[in-house]
Amino acid sequence: MEIIQRPKGTNDVYDETGRTILYIRDLVESIAKEYNYNYFRTPTFERTEVFKRGVGDTTDIVEKETYDFVDRGNRNMTLRPEGTAAVVRSIIENKLYVNGINKVWYFMPMFRYERPQSGRLREHFQFGFESFGTNSPYADAEIISIAVKILKGLGLKGIKVNINSLGDIESRNNYREALKEHFRPHLDNLCSDCKERFDRNPLRIIDCKVDSELEVIKNAPKILDYLNDESKKYFESVKKNLDILGIEYNVNPNIVRGLDYYTHTVFEITAEIKDFGSQNVLCGGGRYNNLVSNLGGPEYPSVGFGMGIERLMNALSAEGIDFGKKEIDAYICYISDNEKDYAFKLLNELRNNNLRSDMCYTNRNLKGQFKECDSNNTKFVIIIGEEEKNTEVITIKNNNTKKEYKINRNELVEFIRRNYE
């Protein structure tokens, strides 16, 4: 029979990958608690409008990368391509802004119809943090510090924080006009993509890779020169707050981001890892003071980031960092079928005492059972034969030291805990 393959750009998760994802998730959750962020989840699909109006309908993501479908009730739906717009829709719909402050985190699948590559999938998982209700540069620094803490907590080195400011609407419009003035006489020299961008989104011209060597681009006006006093002051405060937290960063005026909703602070965190492909941006985010009001809510300033799990795992494996190791506390080996019931009962006792433990239910010989111990990275091997069954004495072997002990059955749990290195 024909074997059915998974859809292009998707992944099955099991074994090491599964364990690694759970490890990352646990770390993210514990850091979220430290920073007082609350778990958030939105539907996997939304009305298409959420992303058209939220992310911006001239962005590449919305224009050519969404998974759209019409449901049986003739409604236009879109599989969530990114988290922020969806969370904002929910904040507005549930009127959560009445709380004043909302600090939330999520861990959800995202969908983008693109040509797959390592670190770029059609279904990928992202976690993200969003801090709503504070128009304070402390919040920007907090958000960036969370991202850095997670990456460092995973043991990654060579982490680079690149930040920039797009300023407020006024600054951005001034800059937009200045760019258009600058490029207008040189339009013929730009690539076809950039000619498109000229009218719709001239900011994107400056980080075009095709034209990056052109003089017109190199000497294009810089956003930082067009920030008004307030925006300038805000950016300075963000940098000062990063200094307070001891976070190193580079100001990179070419970061403009592909989502329309950003204002003021934008940032990207990259990994300088050898043999890493072009998809090396592990984390991207920034401030979006107008998104909530653009989607029909009140003025509700916010800042946040998203981070892709698959790229993170690529970085971890490139660095030789492994969280995917299997491990259990105890494995029960039995000599013959006569001891199976006894072993099964003992196994249940261990599990009721929160010890990770297992035994083999199929009839494997002792050698096979010991092999199971190895493949599970077992700390303690318990051997049950006729003698043990009749005398309530347990034979237990520390699998690291290989030393064997005879102990009383009722001391078993305590013994394992005490000898746990």
Partner RNA sequence: GCGUCAUUGGUGAAGUGGUUAACACACCAGAUUGUGGCUCUGGCAUGCGUCGGUUCGAUUCCGACAUGGCGCCCCA
- List contacts with RNA (CB under 7 A): 5, 7-10, 59-61, 65, 82, 110, 112, 114-121, 124, 126, 193, 204, 207-210, 257-259, 268, 277-279, 281-284, 306-308, 310-311, 335-336, 364-368, 370-371, 373-375, 378, 381, 383, 385-388, 395, 397, 399, 402, 404
Overall residue count recorded for the chain in this entry? 421
CB of 386 to RNA, least distance (A): 5
Q: How far is the CB of 366 from RNA (least distance, A)?
A: 5
Residue 80 Cβ vs RNA, minimum distance, rounded to whole Å: 12
Distance of closest approach, residue 72 Cβ to RNA, in angstroms: 25
Cβ closer to RNA: 136 or 270? 270
Q: Which is nearer to RNA, 236 or 387 (CB)?
A: 387
CB nearer to RNA: give 208 or 321. Answer: 208
Could you tell me the two tokens for 137?
């540069």
Short-list 156, 136, 152, CA closest to 31? 152
AA letter at 177: E
Question: Which CB sits closer to RNA, 99 or 117?
Answer: 117
Copy the structure tokens of residue 102.
Answer: 């909302």
Q: Which CB atom, from 82 or from 97, has the smaller least distance to RNA?
A: 82
> Structure tokens of 273?
């890892």
The nearest distance, CB 261 to RNA, in angstroms, is 10
Q: Which helix (H) or strand (E) holds 236?
A: helix 229-244
Q: How far is the CB of 141 from RNA (least distance, A)?
A: 19
Q: Which of 274, 369, 323 is nearest to 155 (CA)?
A: 323
Which residues have CB under 8 Å from 196's CB, separation 6+?
Answer: none
- 117: number of Cβ within 10 Å: 11
Nearer of residues 92 and 283 to RNA, judged by Cβ: 283
Smallest gap from Cβ 39 to RNA, in A, equals: 19
- At how many degrees (to 10) do helices 48-55 and 83-93 cross? 110
Give all strands (DSSP E) within 196-336, no chain letters. Answer: 250-251, 263-271, 281-287, 302-308, 328-334
CA distance 421 to 404: 15
Going by their DSSP bridges, the two strands 38-39 and 281-287 should be labelled as unpaired
Report the C-alpha gap between 106 and 32 in whole angstroms. 10
Instruction: CB nearer to RNA: give 29 or 196.
Output: 196
- The distance of closest approach from Cβ of residue 230 to RNA in the complex, given in angstroms and rounded to an integer, is 26
CB 73 → RNA: shortest distance, Å? Answer: 27
**Cα gap 220→137, rounded to integer Å:** 28
As a three-state string, the secondary structure of 340-384 is HHHHHHHHHHHHHCCCCEEECCCCCCHHHHHHHHHHCCEEEEEEE
> Smallest distance, Å, CB 353 to RNA?
22
Nearer to RNA, 97 or 290 (CB): 290
Which token pair is 369?
Answer: 């059972």
- In Å, how far from its chain's centre is CA 323? 16
Kindly tell me which of 86 and 97 has the beta carbon lying closer to RNA.
Answer: 86
Nearer CB in complex with RNA: 119/167: 119
**Alpha-carbon distance values, 254 to 299, 346, 353, 403 (Å):** 28, 63, 56, 62
